[in-house]
Amino acid sequence: MNKINRREFIKTTALTGAAAVTSSIICTGGASVFGRNLPSLAAQKQAAVGKPIAISSGNGTKALEKAMEIINQGSDALDGVVAGVNIVEDDPNDMSVGYGGLPNEEGIVELDAAVMHGPSYRAGSVAALRNVKNPSKVARLVMERTDHVLLVGEGALKFAKAHGFKEEDLLTERAREAWLKCKENLNKEDDWLPPHSIEDTDIGEIYEKYLRHYGTIHISALDTYGNLSCVTTTSGLAFKIPGRVGDSPIIGAGLYCDNEVGSAGSTGRGEANLLNLSSAMIVEWMRQGKSPEEACLLACKRVNERCREKRLQDDQGRFKHGVTFYAINKRGEYGGASIWKGDTYLIHDGIEVKRKECAYLFKK
């Protein structure tokens, strides 16, 4: 691609319109399996009107309904998926995403999110963002209003505030109580004591329920123009070390989308996924002809087979944590898979939301 300087680009954009310039930048070079001869954004929008579809993690019923309502009105898939997850980010009762998400070990909520837009082949993300409940909106602004892909921590917060986001305390009473319970039960020798009586000699219990609590929402969607986009947003691992970033905001790990092929995302143990870049792998396996479900299962297999750390395996050498993948392809086929039996995903076929069993590697 020829390099054009920024001033030249802005001048040209003003003269000819952003869509035309974008298409001239995208449509360079010769034919390639990676789609360098993509049609312009405008042409992609005029392309055949097809059946939309959207997939999400199991906590996304309302989010999928919202996403599809917007997509069915003729909007871009990205508008739909972001509006969809905003519902979950705003919901104090979902303790794995946005407002009400479980905090880090210091009791502060830190959020990760990313978006990827198929037709323009762009992405944006934020990590360890505090005090802003809709990180997916900020991630979209990183994509649209910066020359970057990922902003973290304080810089992400300053950027959000520059765009008018208000800071607010994201810790709900319920999440604070869960955090305190964990803290008071984590170590029987430290100075934090759970409620007890003066008769008790052995104070505290390991508070298993929240110790390794994961949770996230991912949505991938195909809109009526046949374009793909996706989003993943989360409060990440409960009671994490401050600054810990999971897979969700990492393009290729927590989500990936190629407008010529398909879109994929993940929930579950982010560290395993960061080491395997599973979402990008799933899209590449779909490019090679695998169905979405086969590709998701291959990702599970890869996570399991590549793990060398005994502490992460059960007594049969199987990866003992949960990781789940979701994928759709350009033809509107879909599938999901998890390492362990029992997980589900949701699919919206343009008419209604249906819950499906994930394919799986192992049964408990």
Give me the phi and psi of 48, to 5 degrees please.
-45, 135
Burial 209-243 (b: 16+ CB within 10 A, else e): ebeebbbbbbbbbbbbbbbbbbbbbbbbbbbbeee
Residues making up the chain, counted from first to last: 364
The candidate with the shortest Cα–Cα distance to 83, out of 97, 69, 95, is 69
Q: Give the DSSP H or E segment for 317.
A: none
Smallest gap from residue 246 Cβ to ligand ASP (A): 2
User: Within the chain, where are the H helices?
Assistant: 6-16, 18-26, 41-46, 61-72, 77-90, 135-145, 153-162, 173-186, 208-211, 270-274, 278-287, 292-306
The residue assigned the tokens 């803290």 is 183
Write down the least CB distance from residue 330 to ligand ASP, Å. Answer: 25
Q: Which is nearer to ligand ASP, 83 or 272 (CB)?
A: 272
Question: Annotated catalytic residue: which of 12, 61, 146, 216?
Answer: 216
The answer to whether 27 and 1 are in contact (CB under 8 A) is no
Contact partners, residue 329, CB within 8 Å, separation at least 6: 261, 262, 286, 291, 292
Please report, as ranges, the residues that interact with ligand ASP according to CB under 6 A: 214-216, 234, 236-237, 246-248, 267-268, 270
Nearer to ligand ASP, 58 or 226 (CB): 58
Cα atoms in the Cβ-side hemisphere of radius 13 Å centred on 296 = 31
* Shortest distance in whole angstroms from residue 271 CB to ligand ASP: 7
Closest CA to 218 of 237, 238, 232, 199: 232
Beta carbon of residue 82, minimum distance to ligand ASP (angstroms, whole number): 18
Instruction: Identify which of residues 101 and 119 has a Cβ nearer to ligand ASP in the complex.
Output: 101
Of 227 and 267, CB closest to ligand ASP: 267
* 216 given a catalytic annotation: yes
User: 221, 52 in Cβ contact below 8 A?
Assistant: yes
Residue pair 235/110 in contact (Cβ under 8 Å)? The answer is yes
If the CB atoms of residues 89 and 223 are measured against ligand ASP, the closer one turns out to be 89
Minimum CB distance to ligand ASP smaller for 229 or for 267: 267
Active site residues: 216
